[in-house]
Amino acid sequence: MTVSATGETVLPPFPVPRPASCPLQMAPEYGEWVAQEGLERTVLADGTPVWAVNRYADIKEALADERLSADGRNPNMPGPGTGPDGTPSFPRMDDPEHNRIRRMFTKDFTVKRIEAMRPGIQKMADDLLDTMTAKEGPADLVQEYALPLPSLVISLLLGVPYDDHEFFQNHTMLVLRSGVSKEEMMGSRRAMFSYLLDLVERKEREPADDLLSRLAQEQILTGQLRREEAVVSASALLVAGHETTANMIALSTLALLQHPDLLARIRDTDDPKVVANAVEELLRYLTIVHSNVFRVATEDLTLSGTRIKAGEAVSMNLPAGNWDPAYTTDPGTFDLDRDTRGHLAFGYGTHQCVGQQLARAELQIALPTLLRRLPELSLAVPAEELTFRNDMIVYGLYSLPVTW
C-alpha cells in the first residue's frame, strides 16, 4: 500500500504491470508480497478492490477452500460472471453443479485423446510454417503461427468452422481485455453467444464428429443440459482454448531467443522428456494467466492470517505463487533442469485447467518445430519495441516480428 501526496492510501493495481525493462520478469512488488504473511489489498482496472493471494501455499489452500466460491451469479464476482441470459459457464459455478457439467466436456481432453491428436497438430504446425516461409520475411509470428495454431486446433475439436476465425478471434480479444468498458465486453460476449447458439442448433439437426455435436446429441437433446448452458460453457472453451496457448507460444519463443543456450538444447534434443520439462518450466516462469482467477468469500474466513469478510473478492496471484522461493529455489531464473512439479500455471483444485493436456501437446509440438525448421530465427525489431499485453487477462505479446 502506498500513500498519495494528499495523504490518502492508494491501493496497488492488480495485476501489477511487469517491468518495462524486463517484461519476462515479475513485478518486483510480487516478491515483496510473497516475502510476508498475509494478503495484499489491491484494486482491479475497473476499480473493484480485491484481496491478492500471493504465496504458493496460500493459493493452493484458497483454491481448495469451498468457502471461496467461483459462482458467477454472485453480484460480488468481479467481471461478467454469466452469459447474456444470466447463465454462468461451468468455470463460474461451484461443485456439485460445476463438476456435473465439467464432466460433460472432459471426455475430449484426456491424456489418451490428446495423444491421438498429436499427428494432426504437427501437420497444422508444419503447414503454417510452410505458408509463413513461402513469403519474404519479416513476419509477425503471432498472426502467422502462435495464434492460428491453437485457434485451428480448438475450432476443429469443438466443431466451429475455422472460416469464421476472424469473427471469434476479434471478439475473444475484446472479452479478454481488462480495460474495455462493460458494455463493449458484453457486446462481444453477446455476439459470440448468438453465433454459438445458432451453431449448436445446427449440430442438433446435423451432427458431425466434434465436441459440440456430441454435446448437442448426448446432453442437450436428452435434457441433461439446456442449450444456453452448453453455449456459454462452449464459449468459455473457445476463448480459453486459443488465447492462452497462443500467448504461451509467442512469449516462450521470445524467452528462448533471449537464452540461446537453452534454445539450442530444446532444438537439438531428441528426448521428449527434455522438451516436456522445458514446456513446464516455461509455463511456470512466464505464468501468463496473471488475472481473472477470482473467488468470492461466502462467509467470513481467515487466510494467511488475513481476515476476509463474506462477500469480499479474492484474486489468485498465480505468477507470484510460481515465483515463491518457498516453492522453488531461485525462481527468477529460467532453468530447464528445474523440478517443475506442482506449478500453478494451470491453477489448482476443482477448476484446474480442462485444456491442460491439449495445451501441453500444442506447446511440445509448436516450439521444437519452430526452432528446428527455422534455425536462424531472430527478432526483426529491437526488443525494446515489442509491446506486451499488460492490459489483458492473459499476458503475452501483441505481435512478434521475426526473420529467419
Partner 1 sequence: MHVVLDEPKCVASGQCVMAAPDVFDQRDEDGIAILLNENPGDELHAGVREAAAICPAAAILLAEK
Which residue matches cell numbers 454469466? 82
| Residues 46-75 close enough to bind partner 1 by CB under 8 A | 64
When the beta carbons of 99 and 298 are compared against partner 1, the nearer one is 99
Query: Do the Cβ atoms of 87 and 323 come closer than 8 Å?
Result: no
Q: Provide the 3-class DSSP secondary structure of residue 404.
A: coil
Q: Provide the 3-class DSSP secondary structure of residue 114.
A: helix
Query: If we measure between CA atoms, which residue out of 394, 390, 396, 366 comes closest to residue 150?
Result: 366
Q: Is 350 in the site for partner 1 (CB under 8 A)?
A: yes
When the beta carbons of 102 and 265 are compared against partner 1, the nearer one is 102
Q: Is 273 in the site for partner 1 (CB under 8 A)?
A: no
When the beta carbons of 22 and 64 are compared against partner 1, the nearer one is 64
How big is the CA angle at 56 (ends 54 and 57), to the nearest 5 degrees?
Answer: 110
Here the contacts of 380-389 (C-beta below 8 Å, separation 24 or greater) are 380/137, 380/138, 383/254, 383/258, 386/23, 386/254, 388/18, 388/23, 389/247
Q: Which residues make up the interface to ligand HEM (CB under 6 A)?
A: 90-91, 102, 154, 236-237, 240-241, 244-245, 248, 288-289, 293, 318, 345-347, 351, 353-355, 358-359
When the beta carbons of 158 and 220 are compared against ligand HEM, the nearer one is 158
How far is the C-alpha of 246 from the C-alpha of 144, rounded, in Å?
A: 11
How far is the C-alpha of 69 from the C-alpha of 50, rounded, in Å?
A: 14
Q: Minimum CB separation from partner 1 for residue 116, in Å?
A: 12
Q: Which of 39, 104, 142, 197 binds partner 1 (CB under 8 A)?
A: 104
Neighbours of 36 (CB within 10 A): 11
Decide which of ligand HEM, partner 1, none touches 110; Cβ closer than 5 to 8 Å per partner kind. partner 1
CA atoms within 13 A on the CB side of 317: 33
Which residue type sits at 8? Answer: E
Which residue matches cell numbers 491439449? 358
One character per residue 305-344, x = contact with partner 1 (rule: CB under 8 A): ------------------------------------xx--
Which residue type sits at 205? Answer: R
The stretch among 148-156, 182-190, 302-310, 345-353 that binds partner 1 (CB under 8 A) is: 345-353
When the beta carbons of 351 and 389 are compared against partner 1, the nearer one is 351
Q: Is 118 in the site for partner 1 (CB under 8 A)?
A: no
Q: Minimum CB separation from ligand HEM for residue 395, in Å?
A: 10
Query: If we measure between CA atoms, which residue out of 212, 201, 174, 207 comes closest to residue 190?
Result: 174
Q: Which of 22, 35, 111, 383 binds partner 1 (CB under 8 A)?
A: 111
The stretch among 6-14, 34-42, 327-335, 347-355 that binds partner 1 (CB under 8 A) is: 347-355
The residues that touch partner 1, with contacts defined as CB under 8 A, are 64, 99, 102-104, 106-107, 109-112, 341-342, 346-354, 356-357
